[in-house]
Each structure stands twice: as C-alpha cells, then as structure tokens.
Amino acid sequence: MLNAYSFHNGEPIDGAVLVFAPSFKVAKKLAYPVVRDWSGCEYTEVRGYRIRHDEWLKANAADKLKLAARTPHVIESPPACKGCDLWHDELDSSGHCETCAEEREEEA
Ligand SMILES: [Zn+2]
C-alpha cells in the first residue's frame, strides 16, 4: 500500500510535489531531485508530511497503474484548486478546494 506525501523546501506556498510511496524515507528520496530542481535546496532542507486523507488524491492525482502495482512515484503537478493554486485538498466539481468553494458561496 502506498501513502501520499507532500514535499517542499520550507514554504509549501511556493509549491510542493505529491509523492506516493510506502514510507516517508522512500518518498523523500523521490521528492528531493524534484524539489532541488526548482529551489536548489539541500537534501536536509526538504520538508514533507504524510497526507492522512489521501483517498481523493489516490483517485484523482495518482498514476493509476503505478498505484496498483505499488510503484512509488512523484506527481509534479497534481490537480490544483482554480482559486488558490494549492492541491493539498479535495476539489469539488468546479475545481475548487473547500475553502475557496465556501468563499465563492459567500460572494454569490
Ligand atoms: Zn482553493
């Protein structure tokens, strides 16, 4: 079983990669070259965490074949919210995260 992890170089707002891997260690090894590419940071500066509610990401962002074969992999550009450009969260049918969807409702 693969878990979902998010990795960045300290400021998640600057962008983060999504990694599917069996453990944090494996995930970080996969994430590092990608994070380094955009930030030039050191291995020790790469930060990450496990995404507990990963059902939506597994269904909508993961490489289905790799997920089924339990092959660890990186998703560099997961489906992001149209409002805030972040991808940490589930998106509704219009492509917005819960926070942005609520703001849109208030504006409407
Ligand atoms: Zn949003």
Output the pTM of the full model.
Answer: 0.88
Q: Token pair of 63, please?
A: 């490489």
As for how many domains the chain has, the answer is 2
| Distance (Å) from CA 9 to ligand 1 centroid | 21
Q: Please give the mean pLDDT across all residues of the chain.
A: 92
Q: Token pair of 83, please?
A: 């409002």
| Distance (Å) from CA 12 to ligand 1 centroid | 14
| Residues 16 and 48 placed together within one structural domain of the fold | yes
89-94's contacts with Cβ under 8 Å and 24+ in sequence apart are 90/53, 90/56, 91/56, 91/60
| Distance (Å) from CA 53 to ligand 1 centroid | 17
| Residues 66 and 88 placed together within one structural domain of the fold | no
| Residues 103 and 72 placed together within one structural domain of the fold | no
Report pLDDT digits (tens) over 39-89. 899 999 999 999 999 999 999 999 999 999 999 999 998 999 999 988 877
Domain, as residue range, for 52: 3-77
